[in-house]
Structure 1
């Protein structure tokens, strides 16, 4: 059984102005851990983009009717074979699989973020936790490009 190599946690208010802080925290974690393990800049860029998409979705959609003081929790768990990012929100649950994937060459309102997330990483899930929060799980495996 694999064990966690490194982990970190960040809590921020539900405001887009904290996106830079979130991304800087993630970059610091990458510099201290992932680059030393041979992860590429390209992998880290895709993960940072996925994190930014997940965070902004939590602020704009999950928390749109909630006060800005509502907290968003972010967990990073580095395993020997993968990195897991968990973004916890307090919004109403929804089923992202019900979002239609955009057809090439057409325009639609919404759904592009979920489509982008699935293309950037190896696994994405959005589930309701037992504590009433929602968890966006973003997983990227190992060193393969």
Structure 2
């Protein structure tokens, strides 16, 4: 899995590397403002922004929980001719996000009544109701990539 810069139809691409620190959210939100342009609708951009913050938060709280705060998380986003694509790269232990997303309704029918797995509930809703493609890839090099794609 390579970066978005290798895709030919990229209109706008950027990468941001931050530490595993929730205080970076303000910087991430400012960075992501640049992706608020055509062909991405405002609604899709807002969905992407929420998903990006949730993905980053999960990387900090779960994937990098036992790693030093200096461990980088790489964020990539790109607007292509036909889609918005977001990637969040972490270095944590791999897990099966697809299985968690599929289990979320069964195990957590009322996600607001639980402290855990709000992100999985959000990603399931993005998939089912808003047609986002969400994939989590565990790479042999000790990195993982959450890929969020919304076709326009």
- TM-score scaled by length of structure 1: 0.85
Corresponding residue of 1:76? 77
Equivalences for residues 22-37 of structure 1 within 5 A = 22-27=28-33, 29-31=34-36, 35=37, 37=38
Q: Is the 8 A contact 2:18 2:73 kept in 1?
A: yes
Write out the 4+ residue segments of structure 1 that deviate beyond 6 Å after TM superposition.
none
Instruction: Select which of 16, 23, 26 maps to 1:20.
Output: 26
Instruction: Select which of 133, 138, 144 maps to 1:128.
Output: 138
Equivalences for residues 21-100 of structure 1 within 5 A = 21-27=27-33, 29-31=34-36, 35=37, 37-99=38-100, 100=103
Q: How many residues align?
A: 137
Tell me by how many angstroms 1:83 deviates: 1.1
**Which structure 2 segments of 5+ residues have no match?**
1-6
What RMSD, in angstroms, separates the aligned Cα atoms of the two structures? 2.0
Distance 2:43 2:88 in 1: 22
Q: Is the 8 A contact 2:35 2:45 kept in 1?
A: yes
**Which structure 1 segments of 5+ residues have no match?**
none
- TM-score scaled by length of structure 2: 0.81
